[in-house]
Structure 1
Amino acid sequence: MTFPGHIRKPNKRAFPVESPLMPQIPRGNFLHLQEEKQRLQLKKFLLHRMFLVAELTANTGKKDIADYYEQMFQSILKHHLEETVTGFLLVYPTSILHILESSSGTLYRILLDYLSHQKSETEFFIQGMRIIIVSHNIPTRLFMQWHISVIKVPVMYLDDVTQTQSVEEVITEFLTQTHKLALHLLKTVKVGAKGPGDNLHQLAPELLIPEQIIKYLYKSEEFMDPETFINTYNKPIHVTLDSEVIWPAPTYF
């Protein structure tokens, strides 16, 4: 006599199926957000703007300065394709004001080139360079190309504001005037032109930064020199703590 085997009832419990109507939360990070912004704006790299001031040695001509920077820019372009440099260089009788716009890698190489010349040459014609400010991830350029202009006629100033104002007030005036000058050049200099030439002291004398302010800034210890900036730039972000190299490893509760 045979007994029918026990027939197991099928399990009617179904695996949970994700509802197509359930909202999906996109997961990303800040880097992806920045890359997406650059893609939408058709940019291949983040754009930065750097303000530099420095002292010039005696008998330094415009051609010497222009040739130095143009050759350096061409050399850097071989390693950083399409990362062109735009900006403006004002050459005073004994000092310079330089505004540069490009990628971080290009600006880094510009500072490295200055340091290499300063260390290898007995008297490089650019001395005492100071980095006043670096504006990161700027939305657009203020300059369409790189220009150089010489302030031929020294302008006499009745009041030396550096004697009565604080560093914060001097730097505020400096940045305000430089941005006004940049906006003026953006409106007046056509794309492809050689620039305003060497008569800015006649076209827009009220927008020029007094040379006494330039001298005050490159002599000030509050601002970084290129060597300090490069060392800080190369310093690792993740620092190994003493507790991470001892044994046994500490236990945290």
Structure 2
Amino acid sequence: MSSSAHTRKTNKKNFPLECLLMPRVPRSNYLQFQEEKQKLQLKKLLLHRMFLVARVTANKEKKDIAEYYEQLFQSILKHHPGEAVTGLLLIYPNSIVHILESSNGTLYQILLDYLSHEKDEREFFIQGMKIIVTSHNIPTRLFMQWHVSVIKAPVMYLDDVTQSLSLQEVMTEFLIQTHKLALHLFKTVKVGTKGPGDNLHQVAPELLLPEQIIKYICNSAELMDPETFINMYNKPIHVTLDSEVVWPTPSSF
């Protein structure tokens, strides 16, 4: 009797310890889920996509514009490690369309560099930049690398057409055409190649925007310029509660 009673007492004492030693089901929070998702997509940080337009000095050499951005990308990655820049730069005779994919910090540094040149250099070859749209936390890239293409299409005078359309209609057309072009290049350009080259006006002329539309967007006062965007980015967010604007000040009894 004493032996069996002793065994039961021992089992009762060991039962909680055995429960502690039992393997538990691993649990993860939402942050860990997002981090694992980023690793599976081979992304270090959240990706963002930005569409830009700007005016450039007439007949500016493709080499000069491409070298400026390539050196800028290398400098940013050296001092601010993050996601590599991919995208597409379309160089028209007097304007550019630029699609950029990278981390939020890298895009921020690109805009800051433009502002520094715009303020310090009166004759900087990129002027009047406007931000069309910024897409946050994109699921995947449309471009596997950064491409530059010169558009050699003939100049089209569409003053009457652009003046008859609203800004919303022009912006809609801009976004539709650029997304179609991006998807076309995503399907046709292989990783590691030089990109679409300078014959897009022959390969996919229906996907290219006339330069007159780009000029129309650059001259639009409704669209945000980099300086305004940076000021909003750096501005702290203050949430004002209803109780803070009620007069007299509510008091507890």
TM-score normalised per structure 2: 0.80
Paired residue secondary structure (1:209): coil
Unaligned ranges ≥5, structure 2: 1-26
Paired residue secondary structure (1:131): strand
Count residues with an aligned counterpart: 227
Partner in structure 2 of residue 132 of structure 1: 132
Structure-to-structure mapping, 1:29-108, within 5 angstroms: 34-35=34-35, 37-108=37-108
Pairwise CA RMSD? 2.8
Partner in structure 1 of residue 24 of structure 2: none
Percent identical among aligned pairs is: 77
Partner in structure 2 of residue 15 of structure 1: none
Structure-to-structure mapping, 1:222-233, within 5 angstroms: 222-233=222-233
Question: Which range moved further: 167-176 or 133-142?
Answer: 167-176
- Structure 1 residue 186 and structure 2 residue 186: aligned? yes
Q: Shift of the alpha carbon at 1:149?
A: 0.6
Distance 1:138 1:121 in 2: 34
Unaligned ranges ≥5, structure 1: 1-25
Partner in structure 2 of residue 204 of structure 1: 204
Contact 1:160 1:212 in 2 (8 A): no
Paired residue secondary structure (2:79): coil
- The aligned amino acid for 1:81 is P
Deviations 1:69-119 (A, max 9, x none): 000000001133351000000001110000000000000000000000111
Contact 1:149 1:198 in 2 (8 A): yes
Partner in structure 2 of residue 20 of structure 1: none
Question: Which range moved further: 154-163 or 121-130?
Answer: 154-163
Q: Shift of the alpha carbon at 1:168?
A: 1.4
Partner in structure 2 of residue 172 of structure 1: 172
Q: Shift of the alpha carbon at 1:123?
A: 1.1
Q: Shift of the alpha carbon at 1:40?
A: 4.7
Which has a greater percent of helix?
2
Distance 1:158 1:128 in 2: 20
Paired residue secondary structure (2:118): helix
Q: Shift of the alpha carbon at 1:122?
A: 1.8
Q: Shift of the alpha carbon at 1:33?
A: 5.8
- Structure 1 residue 150 and structure 2 residue 150: aligned? yes
Paired residue secondary structure (1:109): helix
Paired residue secondary structure (1:78): helix
Distance 1:149 1:195 in 2: 8
Deviations 1:53-78 (A, max 9, x none): 00012241111101100000000011
Deviations 1:223-244 (A, max 9, x none): 1000000000000013578x87
